[in-house]
Amino acid sequence: MRNSNISANHRLYIRNFLNDFRRQSSVNEYKLPNALSLAVTDEETADLSATRLSISNSLTSVHKQCEDDDNEESNKLLDIGRVALWAVGFEKLLNDEMGLHVFTEFLKKEFSQENIQFWIECEKLKKLSDPDEIRQKASSIWSTYLQDTDDGSCRINIDSRTRHECQQSLLNKPHANIFEKAQSQIFQLMKLDSYTRFLKSNMYKECIMSEMEGKSIPYTAKSQQSSVNNEERPKIIDSLV
In a domain, 161, yes or no: yes
Full-prediction pTM beyond 0.85?
no
User: Do residues 129 and 186 share a domain?
Assistant: yes
Q: What is the mean pLDDT of residues 65-72?
A: 56
**Residue 69 and residue 172 in one domain:** no
Q: pLDDT (tens digit, 9 = 90+) per residue, 123-169? A: 999 999 999 999 999 999 999 999 877 665 568 999 999 999 999 99
Mean pLDDT on 9-38: 47
- The whole-number pLDDT of residue 220 equals 81
CA-based nearest residue to 157, from 106, 209, 192, 197? 192
Q: Quick one: 208 and 194 in the same domain?
A: yes
- Alpha-helical (H) ranges within 111-179 are 113-126, 131-141, 160-172
Calculate mean pLDDT across residues 200-205. 96
Last residue of a domain, one of 20, 53, 79: 79
Residue 231 has pLDDT above 60, yes or no: no
Q: Among 173, 176, 194, which residue's Cα sits nearest to residue 117?
A: 194
pLDDT of residue 19: 52
User: How high is the pLDDT of residue 17?
Assistant: 46
Amino acid 155: pLDDT: 87
Q: Is the pLDDT score of 221 beyond 60?
A: yes
Considering the domain boundaries, does residue 238 fall inside one?
no
* Model pLDDT, residue 148: 78
Whether residue 241 is contained in a domain is answered as no
Asked if 71 and 88 sit in the same domain, the reply is no
For 177-188, what is the mean pLDDT? 97
Shared domain check, 35 and 152: no
Of the chain, the percentage scoring pLDDT greater than 70 comes to: 56
Same domain flag for 157 and 212 = yes
Q: Is the pLDDT of residue 204 over 60?
A: yes
Which pLDDT tens digit goes with each residue over 74-96? 444 444 689 999 999 999 999 99
Q: Is 93 in contact with 119 (CB distance < 8 Å)?
A: no
Q: Check residues 71 and 211 and name the one with the higher pLDDT.
A: 211
Print the domain residue range for 30.
8-79
CATH of residue 141's domain is 1.10.167.10
Total domains in the fold of the chain: 2
Round to whole Å and give the CA distance between 163 and 169.
10
Judge if 61 and 148 occupy the same domain. Answer: no
- DSSP assignment letter at 232: G
Please check whether residue 237 lies inside any domain of the structure. Answer: no
Listed residues 62, 79, 96: the one ending a domain: 79
The pLDDT value given to residue 68: 58
- C-alpha gyration radius of the chain: 28
Domain limit, last residue, from 44, 79, 114: 79
Q: Mean pLDDT over residues 94-106, rounded?
A: 96
144 and 209, same domain (yes or no): yes
Residues 90 and 164 in one domain: yes
